[in-house]
Amino acid sequence: MPELPEVEIARRTLVRWFEGRELVRTEATKTRTFRSGTAAPFAKLKGPLTKADRRGKYLMLQFGDEGLMAHLGMTGKFVKRSPGVDEPYSRARFVLDTGEVIHFRDPRLFGEILATKSELLGELPGVKKLGRDPLVDGLDWHQLKDAIGKTKLDLKVALMDQTRLAGLGNIHAAEALFRAGLHPGRKAKSLSDTEWKALARAIHKSLEFGLSEQDGEEIEYVEEPGVENPFLIYGRAGTPCRKCKTKVKSYTQGGRTTHFCPKCQSKKRKP
């Protein structure tokens, strides 16, 4: 499932694909991809890509006065194909002046595209409510504590709350907590300053790792067939912890599966 690193790589890749190119037309298959509006404004997109922003898991692309918001959902991704090459699960298409086509590919249809005026992109409800973005806004331990430190939520659930902290999902919340040695079931307000510092560092390390792993033309998801799991703790229930060899455990937390090491991530508070 795409999180901040995957969406950031998608943004960088789109900038590279559109560089020196013109968008000559768009095409859209009638699906729920445009469920927050209609596909009609999408047809107005033309010309060069003038700006590409990302906030949390949202992409915002501008083509002059017209723009679009894209959310990758669970399986969405952008892929570029040669002229005449069909792409399975293509829900929307950007045809370049070279004849090449950038497809929005989304097998499970949880992704979304909303075309609107460029000036309105930052005011869209999903974008406007987002909390602090670790890459766009920066994130030190004081800012992290301000964002989630007063909540009574479990620590991992708080990290995944996009209105508090934008971009972290199930994978990188679990990875950051493992790197920081913090149990996902701790209450956010129970952390010491030492633990907040460790967690802020761990979030940046996890995101940096995610960006390095995805630095290619086409993003890959760990859930896709044939893709190896590169993560330290996510998806490793029942296997030996990579630090201490204790068996990794999992449980349901906030409706999602949480992976953790019972030895490395003790519930005890660090001074």
| Residues 238, 170, 239: CA angle, nearest 5 degrees | 10
Question: Is 70 exceeded by the pLDDT of residue 10?
Answer: yes
Cβ count within 10 A of residue 103: 21
Q: What is the pLDDT of residues 121-159, one digit of tens each?
A: 999 999 999 999 999 999 999 999 999 999 999 999 999
b/e sequence 151-189, b meaning 16+ C-beta within 10 Å: eebbbbbbbbbbebbbbbbbbbbbbbbbbbbbbbbbebe
Say which CATH topology domain 141-260 has.
Helicase, Ruva Protein; domain 3 (1.10.8)
217 falls in which pLDDT band (50, 70, 90)? confident
Question: Is 80 exceeded by the pLDDT of residue 192?
Answer: yes
Question: Is 70 exceeded by the pLDDT of residue 215?
Answer: no
Rg (CA), the chain: 20
Say which CATH topology domain 4-128 has.
N-terminal domain of MutM-like DNA repair proteins (3.20.190)
Q: Which residues are catalytic?
A: 2-3, 57, 256
Provide the pLDDT for residue 271: 67
Q: Which of 53-57, 170-174, 205-209, 216-220 has the least mean pLDDT?
A: 216-220
Q: Where in the chain is the domain with CATH 3.20.190.10?
A: 4-128
Question: Is 80 exceeded by the pLDDT of residue 77?
Answer: yes
Instruction: Over range 68-75, report the average pLDDT.
Output: 96
Q: Where in the chain is the domain with CATH 1.10.8.50?
A: 141-260
Q: What is the mean pLDDT of the chain?
A: 95
